[in-house]
Structure 1
């Protein structure tokens, strides 16, 4: 019951190249103002005018011209630039409305994918077929994973505690976004990419998720959402620019096995349901307000995010 037709060494090499490129460009944007503005403002403006009308035209043979790809591209870019403003516009990070932006843009991105999962189920493609030039298979996994995504939205917590790091990069630290939430998100998102863009998920699922999760655990703790927004925006811009990459240049197709679809979505649903129950118990036991309180301030992960990086 394999996930993919076994990739060759060339595919693994390309995967690692993409992984390190995403992580490297993320670091460039994170550590320098000019890097963020060049990568996430100037470059996409040029691509929007001169490249994407051709490479991501509606109905093109690679499926990049769908509403979802265009919305996802600009919502990811909006996230990056919004976080940049929170980090560098004086006093903005202390404003309540600014602290609401990260959870809202995150919830919107998850909701976009949830809607797509439910939409694929509505296609009733029980044996699989190509829609917008992308192979999909409808099944109960779409409903299961859609519910997992909604639970993931409901467990977003502690945005009132977002702070900035002391160092030059002024990273947006969200200490309440601890590792159980990140893992639950990763499981849901990987299942989503497997459901919605199955034959692209080796790169846009596995590789892309690693590119933000590794930095969140090993490079800059507490800044997962900042890593995620940047790497997601970089990847989507690449796909919109080189749409043939996952289909012709370096394809890694899935096995199209319904048991795999079901298993991945079941794991994602269990993980997010467990997180929801765990968080609900903490809220009730500690008499917390989930709209204002930080849920995990008593955990080592929370303290590690704040240990030597964040200032109020």
Structure 2
């Protein structure tokens, strides 16, 4: 028996690796080719909404995909993808005869932090909701196993801190290369890691037996490209991989339960430790960011916080 997970057959971990690399591959397609992005995040979802999801994600189905949370998460992730595509590519010729871009508008740059905060808030609400179920010994809710405990409160607080520490969105710009990625240099590695720990804890707490995929694999699918393929574009990677995974789960709901299950150990200690790490990392991030804001006399709603760091400067140098 593992510490976090137990798979009945090692082949399931091979399938897990395939899922990870498939998410990364489709993310790259949607990133470097505009037409691929429009097909993946506009045309395919429309077709699935009309002809597939009413059956595979119907309310009360045996795999739990028909909950309000799944439907809201699906369309909020897709809204993020399409919004980011608009920021990257929408342009027009103004009355002055010059070409103008959507990303030049400060109000448009408020969209990325807003959709990110909404997505985090949805998960925070779910963590608190699972605590309210009072399943202290574990049990089934909406056809998913879960267990209530202090970890839900701890991780809910971590998520709130993660929202508070979103910063520097007026520094978002579009990369100079042909892919025209949405680059957010103030979203440095420290925030990304704190987010990953929080989000993994959320999936472990609330979607326990699916978290090997929707937590571990899905987070790696956007974090690996952030560090090794296209630095500075974490939110773009995150939105696209999240949308891809949710569309797949809504279409093949039996995947994580029947086809390739990797359940958790259902060990309360594991839940506590995972959420403790998430809370500690986000407390540390918030404390450090507050220290910088106070020391440098910055306005967190307008200023970029990390402009003097090597991580920030490297991203700008690579993409401007």
TM-score normalized by structure 2? Answer: 0.96
Structure 2 SS opposite 1:96: coil
> Aligned pair 1:216/2:226, yes or no?
yes
2: CA distance, partners of 1:47 / 1:160: 35
Deviations 1:52-110 (A, max 9, x none): 00000000000000000000000000000000000000110010111000000000000
Partner of 1:243: 253
2: CA distance, partners of 1:161 / 1:37: 26
Partner of 1:157: 167
> Aligned pair 1:73/2:74, yes or no?
yes
2: CA distance, partners of 1:25 / 1:238: 12
2: CA distance, partners of 1:66 / 1:102: 25
Counterparts of 1:13-52 in structure 2, within 5 Å, are 13-52=14-53
Structure 2 SS opposite 1:135: strand
Counterparts of 1:291-310 in structure 2, within 5 Å, are 291-310=301-320
Partner of 2:194: 184
* Contact map agreement 2:7 2:261 (CA 8 A) in 1: no
> Aligned pair 1:230/2:240, yes or no?
yes
Structure 1 gap segments, 5+ residues each = none
Structure 1 SS opposite 2:198: helix
Deviations 1:3-34 (A, max 9, x none): 01146431121111111111110010000111
Counterparts of 1:89-104 in structure 2, within 5 Å, are 89-90=90-91, 91-104=101-114
1: CA distance, partners of 2:168 / 2:275: 27
**Coordinate RMSD, CA, aligned:** 0.8
2: CA distance, partners of 1:131 / 1:255: 18
Partner of 1:86: 87
Deviations 1:252-307 (A, max 9, x none): 11010111101100110000000000000000000000000100011111011111
Structure 1 stretches of 4+ with a deviation exceeding 6 A read none
Question: How many correspondences in the alignment?
Answer: 310
Structure 2 gap segments, 5+ residues each = 92-100
TM-score normalized by structure 1? Answer: 0.98
Structure 1 SS opposite 2:5: coil
Partner of 1:206: 216
Counterparts of 1:110-189 in structure 2, within 5 Å, are 110-189=120-199
1: CA distance, partners of 2:150 / 2:3: 19
* Contact map agreement 2:84 2:236 (CA 8 A) in 1: yes
Deviations 1:121-149 (A, max 9, x none): 01111001100000010000000000000
Structure 1 SS opposite 2:275: helix
